[in-house]
Structure formats: C-alpha cells, structure tokens
Amino acid sequence: MYGFNDGLTANFGLVAGVIGAAVQPHVIMISGVAGMIADALSMGSSGYLAAKSEQEVWEHEIAMEKEEIRLMPEVEQEEMALQYEAKGVDPRTARRMAEEVMRDPVRALGEQVRDELKIGEAHATPFREGWITGAATAVGAFIPVFPFLVLQGRVAIWVAFTIAMLSHFIVGAARSFFTGRGVIRSGIDMFVIGMGVAAVGYLVGDLVAKTL
C-alpha cells in the first residue's frame, strides 16, 4: 500500500509538472516512464535496506542475549521468573519453571527472544520486501502514464488526471480498512493530497518553462 501510494502520487506530480511545461506528448510519456522506473527502484531498494537493517538489529540483539545467558545465567533466570509472574504464575512455580528452562540454553534463548526482546519469527526476507515494495510502486506510478501510451493530446491529459484522482480516492478509501477511519473521509484526504500535488507540479512546470 505504501509503495503503491508513493508511486502514484510522486509520478502524478512529475507528469503534471511536465504537462505544465507544455512539452510534446512523447516527452510527457518518456518522463513518466522514467519517473516510474526511478521511483520503483528507489522504493524497492529502500524497502530492502530497511528490512535488512531491521534483521541485522534483531540478530545483534539475539547475539547479545545469548551471551548474557552464557555469562549471567542467574540474572537471566531471575528475569525469566519475573516474566512468568507477570503472566500470572505464582512466584514459587515461576522460579521452578525458570530454573528448568535455563537448563537448556537453546530453549532459554528462544523464550527470552520471544518474551523479553519481543522478536517474533520473520515472515519476509529483505529481498521479498524490496521487490514487493518496488513492484507496488511501479504499478502506482504507471497509472498516470498509461493514458499517454494509448491516447494523445488533451484527451490523454484529462484521462490521466481522471484516473489518477480516482486512484487517489480509492487508495485512501482502502486505507480505512487498516486505520479504522471512515471510507469517504480517508478517500477525500488522499484525493485532496493528489489534487495538491498535481497543482503544485503543474505550476512549477509552467513557471520553469516560462523562466527558461
């Protein structure tokens, strides 16, 4: 969702800026395609690096926890007992459970990673995060470009504007399923953002063209 939204809004602003510069239609198409590719690569690499950094942080924390279990088993056992007590286990049983778990360093590490560090099982690799984000960005960025591949002139411009604005509203409405906000309100928020990006892009393109 994040990649799709970024690709749609960023490339819509770029296309609007090129339109504002009053260039030839093929320049609009080339600029839009180039923007789509650049944005997809940028977002994809950012998604990959973010996931990889998170993974490296988790691996470092797990390694530190493993070393603490090896060097300070009594402290870790006490921490584990307190965690059991926080879950409602009586103190005596909690201490006995912690002592039993600490006899197996692998099991102890697994419990501390889950309960103390709050690190769960990874559901996606950095590569998967990267290509999904990049692909979603490319799909969103392609929307304002597509009309220029099949249409020409003002018709292409108005179709691109219409489908891009509708897409902004739909994306905003879809976000409401995750945020809990009203569908219409979320859709209008994204619609207004898309309109603002298009307006600024167009005015900047027009200004640059007149200045140069």
Q: What is the pLDDT of residues 108-163, one digit of tens each?
A: 888 887 777 777 665 568 888 889 999 999 999 999 999 998 888 889 889 999 99
Q: Rounded to a whole number, what is the distance in angstroms from the first to the last CA of the chain?
A: 38
Please tell me the predicted confidence (pLDDT) of residue 100: 87
- What integer pLDDT is reported at residue 121 of this predicted model? 60
Residue type, 104: D
Our CA angle for 164, 168, 171, nearest 5°, is 130
Same domain, 36 and 140: yes
Is residue 35 included in any domain, yes or no? yes
Whether residue 73 sits in one domain with residue 35: no
> Which parts of the chain sit beneath pLDDT 70?
120-124
Residue 200 located in a structural domain: yes
* pTM exceeding 0.75: no
Helix (H) or strand (E) holding 158: helix 153-179
Q: Which domain holds residue 202?
A: 2-48+126-211
**Between the CA of residue 14 and those of 46, 87, 108, 175, what are the distances in Å?**
20, 54, 54, 24
Distances (CA, A) of 9 to 146, 173, 194: 15, 15, 6
Structurally, the chain folds into a number of domains equal to 2
pLDDT of residue 1: 75
Q: How many CB atoms lie within 10 A of CB 46?
A: 17
Per-residue confidence (pLDDT) for residue 124, from 0 to 100? 66
Which pLDDT score is estimated for 142? 94
**Residue 123: predicted pLDDT:** 57
